[in-house]
Every structure is written in C-alpha cells, then in structure tokens.
C-alpha cells in the first residue's frame, strides 16, 4: 500500500511543479518603460500619449494636436496641457508586459532608425523605450514601417477596450 501512495505523492509534486513553472512569467527588466504617442482611432487630430512602466502601471492622455505635432528641445513629443481632452490610468499584468517586451525584441526596435518621416501618408507613431540599460526613440510620420506597425498592434491588443489607437496607412517607398 505504501507504493501507490508514494507514487501519487510524487506524481502530484511533478504536476504541481510543471503547472507553477508554466504560470510564472519572467519579469521585464526593472528599467523597462514604454512611451508611445500614436493617433487615436477617434479622429485624425486626436492622439494618445501612453506611458507604461516596469510594474505595469500606465497612464494615458488623449489630446487634440490641432493637426500639429509639438516636440521639446530633446526631440520628445510634447503634450500641451491646454490640448488634453481626457486622462486616465490602467494596469498591465506581467503577461501583457512580456508581450510588449517580446514585440520590441522581435521587431528589433533598438536597431531601428530614429526618424522615418515623409510629407505624405497617414501613419504615425512616436515610440520611446527603455530596457536593459538601452534607450531608443523612433519617430515615424507618413512612412510605412512594418516593425512599428507590429509594435503599435501589440500595444493595441493589451490596452483597455476604451482606448483605440490607429497607426494609419503609410506611404510605402
């Protein structure tokens, strides 16, 4: 009788170990952050400015650009307080953070050019990411960049349903 009990205990331990290993997600690096500024699906001049940190805390601002993107002296997107239409917060779980990290890695974000800009086309994404001691910014206006489209698509998948972003159609050189 002791053999079946021992076998059951060992089998239960193995199943528990496998299950707990599968449910654990690796943590994103402690310096992980993602800032994305992209057009809202609500209208051409409305944009979302979304900031996500390594703990999954996120904030957003919906603002009306008035048709003009503004930058500070460091080349970062500015969101004038007078143009903010809505603000909010949300949280991401570890699985969602991992999905963002994988999208950045899979699309070689840190090796992309800094500027992809053309006067024609409607695609727009400004992305600034920090991860593993690296920081990189990509500013894209008008030109189709498949890697940025994939990153924006991944971000859309993990956003709360009320936040709808649109990369837009870009000019394909």
The pLDDT confidence band at residue 21, using thresholds 50, 70 and 90, is very low
Burial state string for 5-34 with b = 16 or more CB within 10 A and e = fewer than 16: eeeeeeeeeeeeeeeeeeeeeeebeeebeb
The pLDDT confidence band at residue 24, using thresholds 50, 70 and 90, is low
pLDDT, tens digit (0-9, with 9 covering 90-100), for 27-62: 999 999 999 999 998 877 899 999 999 999 999 999
Q: What is the reported pLDDT for 19?
A: 44
- For residue 22, is pLDDT > 50? no
Mean pLDDT of the region 103-132: 93
Mean pLDDT of the region 136-160: 95
- For residue 90, is pLDDT > 50? yes
Task: Please give the Cα distance from 122 to 120 (Å, whole number).
Answer: 7
- Whether the full predicted model's pTM is greater than 0.95, yes or no, is no
Burial class for 137, CB neighbours closer than 10 Å (0-12, 13-18, 19+): middle
**171, 118 contact by CB (below 8 A):** yes
């Amino acid at each position: 009788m002791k053999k079946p009990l021992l076998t059951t205990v060992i089998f239960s331990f193995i199943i528990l170990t496998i299950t707990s290993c599968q449910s654990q997600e690796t943590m994103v690096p402690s310096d992980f952050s993602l800032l994305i500024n992209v057009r809202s699906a609500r209208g051409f001049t409305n944009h979302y400015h979304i900031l996500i940190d390594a703990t999954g805390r996120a904030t957003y601002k919906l603002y009306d650009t008035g048709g003009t993107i503004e930058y500070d002296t460091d080349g970062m997107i500015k969101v004038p307080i007078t143009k903010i239409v809505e603000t909010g917060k949300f949280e991401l779980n570890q699985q969602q953070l991992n999905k963002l990290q994988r999208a950045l890695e899979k699309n070689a974000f840190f090796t992309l050019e800094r500027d992809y800009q053309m006067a024609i086309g409607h695609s727009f994404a400004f992305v600034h990411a920090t991860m593993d001691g690296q920081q990189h910014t990509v500013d894209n206006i008008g030109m189709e960049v498949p890697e940025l489209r994939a990153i924006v698509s991944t971000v859309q998948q993990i956003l709360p349903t009320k936040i709808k972003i649109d990369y837009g159609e870009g000019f394909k050189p």
